[in-house]
């Protein structure tokens, strides 16, 4: 069984967009995230993206378009020396009540099953408390919030939720550097 580093996409690897990422033109990769992902290329961890993409469920983009954006992002990361082993995406809207939309742990649990992962040795990195909740609900003990994306506002909300302690870093690069 493998440990994994679970990463949220929007706000961690790429910039959040107020009107959703609808095409490749909307993708703005944080330069430090490319360097950070390259630095863990040879890691024994599986590197997994878990992302909510309600733009699909809202009819703003097709599932095919969402998958093409993710594939192109992986290619860009690989061209900069990094790797993503797999992307797990929830296409549902918040009101659909699925078990895969974070803060529910469904995407992580699906990854665990499909990739033979050891969640107790895994890490979750996100820019929202829903990422932290999903990781902790799935049994991930080391969770990290980054201040990129929505992270700055989310840090101030943490007292309102019943969360186990988690670490806070400025960027994905800082979070991954803490693992070395």
Residues 6+ apart with CB under 8 A from 97: none
Give yes or no for a contact between 173 and 144, defined as CB atoms under 8 angstroms apart.
no
Active site residue 127: no
**Is 95 a residue of the active site?**
no
Q: Is 65 exposed, middle or buried (0-12, 13-18, 19+ CB in 10 A)?
A: middle
Cα 23 vs. chain centroid, distance in angstroms?
19
CA atoms within 13 A on the CB side of 146: 30
Q: Is 107 exposed, middle or buried (0-12, 13-18, 19+ CB in 10 A)?
A: buried
Going by C-alpha positions, the residue among 179, 101, 159 that lies closest to residue 169 is 179
Pick the catalytic residue: 8, 26, 95, 127?
Answer: 8
Residue with tokens 């890490």, as numbered in its chain: 123
Q: Which element (helix H / strand E) includes 129?
A: helix 129-138
- The catalytically annotated residue of 10, 26, 95, 177 is 10
Other beta carbons within 10 angstroms of residue 130's beta carbon come to 19
Q: Which are the catalytic amino acids?
A: 8, 10
């Amino acid at each position: 069984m493998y440990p994994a580093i679970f990463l949220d996409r929007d706000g961690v690897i790429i910039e959040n967009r107020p009107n959703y990422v609808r095409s490749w033109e909307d993708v703005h990769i944080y330069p430090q995230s490319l360097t950070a992902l390259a630095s863990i290329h040879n890691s024994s961890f599986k590197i997994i993206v878990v992302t909510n993409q309600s733009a699909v469920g809202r009819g703003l983009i097709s599932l095919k378009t969402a998958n093409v954006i993710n594939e192109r992002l992986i290619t860009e990361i690989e061209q900069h020396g990094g790797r993503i082993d797999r992307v797990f995406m929830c296409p549902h809207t918040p009101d659909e009540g699925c078990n895969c939309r974070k803060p529910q742990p469904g995407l992580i649990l699906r990854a665990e099953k499909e990739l033979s992962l050891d969640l107790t040795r895994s890490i979750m990195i996100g820019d929202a408390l829903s990422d932290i909740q999903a990781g902790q609900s799935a049994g991930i003990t080391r969770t990290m919030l980054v201040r990129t994306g929505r992270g700055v506002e989310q840090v101030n909300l943490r007292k309102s939720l019943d969360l186990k302690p988690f670490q806070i870093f400025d960027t994905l690069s800082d979070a991954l550097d803490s693992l070395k």
